[in-house]
Chains A and B, each alone.
Chain A
Amino acid sequence: MTSTPLDVPQRPAATRWALEAQDLDKSFGGTPALRGAHLTVAPGLIHALLGGNGSGKSTLIKCVAGVYTADAGVVSVHGSAMPAAQITPRAARDAGLRFVHQDLGMFSSLTVAENLALSDGFPTTAWQGIRWRDLHDRAEALLERFDIRVRPTDTVGELRPSQQTMVAIARALADQRDRDAGGHILILDEPTASLPENESAELMRALRSRADAGQTIVLVSHRFREIEAVADDVTVFRDGRVAGTGPVGEMSSDRVVDLMTGSAAGITGTPAAPTRPAPTAAPSRATSGTPAESVFTARGLVAGSLAGLDLSVSRGEIVGLAGLAGSGRSSVLRAVFGDLPLKAGSMHLMGRPHQPAGPGDAVSAGVAFVPENRVRDAAFLDMSVRENATMTRIGRYWRRLVMDLRTERAETRSLIERHAIRTAGTELPMASLSGGNQQKVVLGRWLQQDPDLLLLDEPTQGVDVMSRREIYATLHEIAAEGCAMVVASSDLDELMELCDRIVVLTDGRPTAELHARGLRREELAAAVLTGAPAAQETKGTEKT
Chain B
Amino acid sequence: MSTSTSTSVTRPSRPGRGEPTKDRPARQGGRSAPLGHHLERWALPLLLVVIIVFFALFPPSSGVFLSGANIGVVLGNQAVVTLVAIGLMLPLVCGHFDFSVGSTAVFASVVTAAGMAHFALPWWVACLAGVAAGAVIGAVNGILVARFGMNAFVSTLGMATLLGGLIQWYTGGLAIIGVDPGFMAFGSGTWLGLPRVVFVVAVIVLGVWYLLTHTPYGRALYAIGSNARSAALVGLPTTRHVLTAFMLSGILAAMAGVLLAARTGGANADNGTYLLFPALTAVFLGATAILPGRFNVLGTIVGVLFVAVSVSGLTLSGAQNWVDQVFNGAALLVAVGLSSYLRRRRTGGNG
A interface residues (Cβ-Cβ under 8 A, vs B)? 28, 33, 53-54, 58-59, 337, 339, 358-360, 362-364, 369, 371, 375-384, 387, 391-392, 394-395, 397-398, 401-403, 416-418, 420, 422-425, 427-429, 431-432, 434-438, 445, 461-464, 466-467
- Contact yes or no, B17 A417, CB < 8 A: yes
Decide: A431 near B230, CB < 8 A? Known: A425-B26, A437-B8.
no
Closest A residue to B20 using CB positions: A417
Whether B234 and A391, one on each chain, are in contact in the complex, defined by CB atoms closer than 8 angstroms, is yes
Complex partner residue of B227 from A33, A53, A379, A425, CB under 8 angstroms? A379
Q: Measured between alpha carbons, how far is A302 from B159 in the docked complex, in Å? A: 41
CB of B36 closer than 8 Å to a CB of A: no
Segment at the interface with A among B172-180, B209-217, B244-252 = B209-217
Q: How far is the CA of A466 from the CA of B216 in the complex (A)?
A: 34
- Name 18 extra pairs, CB < 8 A, besides A434-B6, A435-B6, A466-B13: A33-B1, A359-B234, A378-B234, A380-B226, A381-B347, A391-B236, A394-B219, A402-B214, A403-B216, A416-B18, A418-B18, A420-B17, A420-B18, A424-B25, A424-B26, A428-B27, A462-B4, A464-B9
Q: How far is the CA of A511 from the CA of B311 in the complex (A)?
A: 72
Contact B348 A432 (CB under 8 A): yes
Residues of B within 8 A of A28 (CB): 1
Select one of A359, A425, A467 contacting B29, CB under 8 A: A425
**Cα–Cα, bound, A463→B11 (Å):** 13
Closest chain A residue, CB of each to CB of B229:
A377
Closest residue of chain A to B218 (Cβ to Cβ) is A403
- Per the bound structure, the CA–CA distance linking A463 and B9 in Å amounts to 10
Contact A379 B230 (CB under 8 A): yes
Closest to A370 in B: B233
Residues on B facing A (Cβ under 8 Å): 1-2, 4, 6-9, 11, 13-14, 17-18, 21, 24-31, 213-216, 219-220, 222-223, 226-227, 229-237, 293-294, 343, 346-348, 350-351
B229 contacts A376, C-beta separation under 8 Å = yes
Q: A359 and B223: CB pair below 8 A?
A: no
A387 partner, pick from B7, B28, B223, B235, beta carbons under 8 A: B223
B227-A380 in contact (CB<8A): yes
Task: Tell me which residues across on chain B come within 8 A of A369, comparing CB atoms.
Answer: 233
Complex-state Cα separation, A53 to B2, whole angstroms: 9
Chain B residues whose CB sits within 8 angstroms of the CB of A424 once the complex forms: 21, 24-27, 30
A301 to B6 Cα, complex, angstroms:
35
Are A394 and B233 in contact (CB-based, < 8 A)? Answer: no
Query: Is B13 touching A394 in the complex (CB atoms < 8 A)?
Result: no
A463 to B232, CA, bound (A): 23
Note all chain B residues with C-beta closer than 8 A to A362: 235
Q: Pick the contact of A403 from B219, B231, B232 — CB < 8 Å?
A: B219
State in angstroms the CA–CA spacing of A463 and B8 once bound together: 8
CA distance A433 to B216 in the complex (A): 25
A467 to chain B, nearest CB (A): 7
Bound together, the chains give a CA A375 to CA B227 distance in angstroms of: 9
**Cβ B214 vs Cβ A462 within 8 A:** no
Q: Name 22 A/B residue pairs within 8 A (Cβ), A-sorted.
A: A359-B233, A381-B347, A382-B226, A383-B223, A391-B223, A392-B235, A398-B214, A398-B215, A417-B17, A422-B8, A422-B21, A424-B24, A424-B30, A425-B26, A428-B29, A431-B347, A431-B350, A436-B7, A436-B8, A462-B7, A466-B13, A467-B8
Q: What CA separation (Å) do A376 and B228 show in the bound complex?
A: 9
Which residues of the other chain, B, contact A395 by a CB distance below 8 angstroms? 216
Contact status A394-B220, CB under 8 Å: yes
Known: A54-B1, A463-B7. A377 touches B348 (CB 8 A): no
- Taken together as a complex, chains A and B put the C-alpha atoms of A417 and B347 apart, in Å, by 24
- Tell whether, in the assembled complex, residue B348 and residue A392 are in contact, meaning their CB atoms are under 8 Å apart: no
- 6 closest Cβ pairs, A-B complex: A363-B235, A435-B6, A434-B8, A417-B18, A462-B4, A425-B30
A360: B residues at CB distance < 8 A: 235-237
Contacts of A422 in B (CB 8 A): 8, 11, 14, 21
A387–B232 Cα distance when bound, in Å, is 15
B236 — nearest CB in chain A belongs to which residue?
A360
Which A residues lie within 8 Å of B213 (CB)? 403
Known: A377-B233, A435-B6, A435-B7. A425 touches B215 (CB 8 A): no
Given A377-B230, A403-B213, A427–B14 Cβ distance below 8 Å?
Answer: no
Residue of B with least CB distance to A426: B30
Q: Which residues of B are found within 8 Å of A416, using beta-carbon distances? A: 18
A432 CA / B2 CA spacing, docked (Å): 21
A437 and B229 alpha carbons, distance in the complex (Å): 20
A381 touches B351 (CB 8 A): yes
Given A360-B237, A429-B347, decide whether A464 and B214 contact each other with a Cβ distance below 8 A.
no
Contacting residues, chain B, for A54 (C-beta < 8 A): 1
Complex: A403 Cα to B213 Cα, angstroms = 8
Query: Is the Cβ of A461 less than 8 Å from the Cβ of B2?
Result: yes
Residue of A nearest to B227 (CB): A380
Contacts of A418 in B (CB 8 A): 18
> Which residue of chain B is the closest to A363 with respect to CB atoms?
B235
Given A54-B1, A432-B27, A435-B8: A403 touches B347 (CB 8 Å cut-off): no
A392–B223 alpha-carbon span in the complex (Å): 11
Least distance between A424 CB and chain B CB atoms (Å): 5
Across the interface, A431 reaches (CB within 8 A) one of B30, B223, B346, namely B346
Interface-central residue, A376, A382, A418, by most chain B CB under 10 Å: A382
Bound-state CA distance A371–B231 (Å) is: 12
- Residues of chain A within 8 A (CB-CB) of B294 are 382
Q: A381–B8 contact, CB under 8 A?
A: no
Q: Which of A58, A403, A445 contacts B214 (CB 8 A)?
A: A403
Please report the C-alpha to C-alpha distance between residue A422 and residue B213 in the assembled complex, in whole angstroms: 27
A19 vs B189: C-alpha distance in the bound complex, in angstroms?
89
Q: A392-B234, A427-B29 are in contact. Are A462 and B2 (CB under 8 A)?
A: yes
Judge whether A394 and B7 touch: CB under 8 Å.
no
In the bound complex, do residue A381 and residue B350 qualify as a contact, i.e. CB atoms below 8 Å apart?
A: yes
Q: How far apart sit A99 and B9, CA to CA, in the bound complex (Å)?
A: 33
Structural contact, B223 and A435, CB atoms closer than 8 A: no
Cβ contacts under 8 Å, B343 to chain A: 382
Q: Are the C-beta atoms of B214 and A401 separated by less than 8 Å?
A: yes
The reply to whether B8 and A423 contact each other, CB–CB distance below 8 Å, is no
Query: Who on chain B is nearest to A431 by CB?
Result: B348
Select A382's contact among B215, B219, B220, B351, beta carbons within 8 Å. B351
Give B21 Cβ to nearest chain A Cβ, in Å.
Answer: 5
Q: Look across to chain A and name the residue whose beta carbon is closest to the beta carbon of B7.
A: A464
CA distance A410 to B305 in the complex (A): 37
**Smallest beta-carbon distance B75→chain A, Å:** 28
| Pair B222/A383 contact, Cβ less than 8 Å | yes
A382 and B17 contacting across the interface, CB-CB below 8 Å:
no
Interface centre among B220, B293, B346 (most CB of A within 10 A): B346
Cα distance, A339 to B223, chains bound together (Å): 18
Q: How far is the CA of A386 from the CA of B13 in the complex (A)?
A: 22
Residues of A within 8 A of B222 (CB): 383, 387
Nearest opposing residue in chain A for B219, CB measure: A394
CB-defined contacts of A423 to chain B, threshold 8 Å = 21
What residue in chain B is nearest A465 (Cβ atoms)?
Answer: B7
**B346 interface neighbour in A363, A382, A436, A462, Cβ under 8 Å:** A382
Nearest CB in chain A: distance from B325 CB, A? 32
Give A358 to B238 CA distance when docked, in angstroms.
10
Assess the A425–B234 pair: CB atoms within 8 A.
no
Q: With A and B bound together, what is the CA distance between A58 and B230 in angstroms?
A: 32
Tell me which residues across on chain A come within 8 A of B219, comparing CB atoms.
Answer: 387, 391, 394, 403
